[in-house]
Structure 1
Amino acid sequence: MPVQLDDTDVAILKSLMEDGRKSFRAISREIKVSTPTVKARYERLVNIGLIKAVRPEIDMSKIDKKSDEIGDALQELKKQKKHFHVYVEGLKVKLKCDFCGGPVHDKPKVLRFARFERFFCCVQCRASYKEKYGGRIEALKRNQEEE
């Protein structure tokens, strides 16, 4: 017997199609239902087979194409548009500084807080970011601790 989807199910699906990495809490706030409801509905949609997988959407423009051996793996990845079952060794991702927007050439300077990571080209950009967004970072840390 077919399962009828209601407005809540459809809203959850639309939200996940926009960004499959959203948390149940973020979805619940977006569609104005409780977090346990979103979790239960999501599990039901998985159990009935409607949601088969959550797969990454890879931005190929961010891939560093300089290495020849990576080039072959990259071509294989492009062929597989929907299936990402390829193990790619040595793949490099081009990073932009989260403060100045410039390229990150060496090992990035990382700022971790709550469930977030921000990447910077230098310690000055990291320090400037912390200074500019310090209040927001602290609020996110407090919210994370409360959960």
Structure 2
Amino acid sequence: MIGLNLRLHWIYVPYLSSGRSIRLQINTVIMNPNLDDVDRKILRELQTDGRASFRDISSRIGVSTPTVSARVQAMTDMGLIKGYSTLLDADMLGQVSVILTINAKPSHLEDVYERLMEDEMVRQIFILSDSRLLCMLSFYNQVKYKMFIETISKIPEILSMDASMILKAPKENQRAALTDEAGLLIRCYYCGHMIHDEGVKIKMDGKYHYLCCPVCSKLYKEKYEKLRKSA
């Protein structure tokens, strides 16, 4: 599991109005971001049945119900568990599914991405190499599909497109493949660097925030407080 312990840190930071450094005391919760066998077992159970109760999961994997609850909450707080949704059969709804590859101008890739995100018929988008986007689309009929293609073909930042209709989907799983080698990658909320070995976990306004070191933790708190006061 994500190990936690409390440590007292003394850090030296530059004092803004002078060339001197001041010593600051920071109490931080140090975390070791990793997944153990229990975490993986819980995640596999949830991937198999997102409606399973914590009690059912605990009986199947041999741990207590509070353990399952605490671990699910921790993995939800850090964003590993994004949520729970109902999977619908597109074929039974009479939908036509299409894979669309888009080549866009490199400098406007994000603009095209944001534009496509607004359309409900665009079910998934992946940013690929060479300034390409891969989109999974679903439509109720060919007319709506053609209207969509005609609309986005007018976007000047799109250079070319290639579409293929999905005839069958023999295998349709979540993108996250949970193997025994699966680790945990968390980016620092302040500097954006990947958190390795040990990181800092702080709680503000009922939500946990993850930082790579005590310095980023302090700077993030200051930035957070300024944003909250100006809101």
- TM score, norm. by length of structure 2: 0.28
> Where is the helix percentage greater, Structure 1 or Structure 2?
1
Tell me which structure has the larger Cα radius of gyration. 2
Which has the higher relative contact order, 1 or 2, with Cα contacts under 8 A spaced 6 or more apart? 2
- TM score, norm. by length of structure 1: 0.42
> Where is the strand percentage greater, Structure 1 or Structure 2?
2
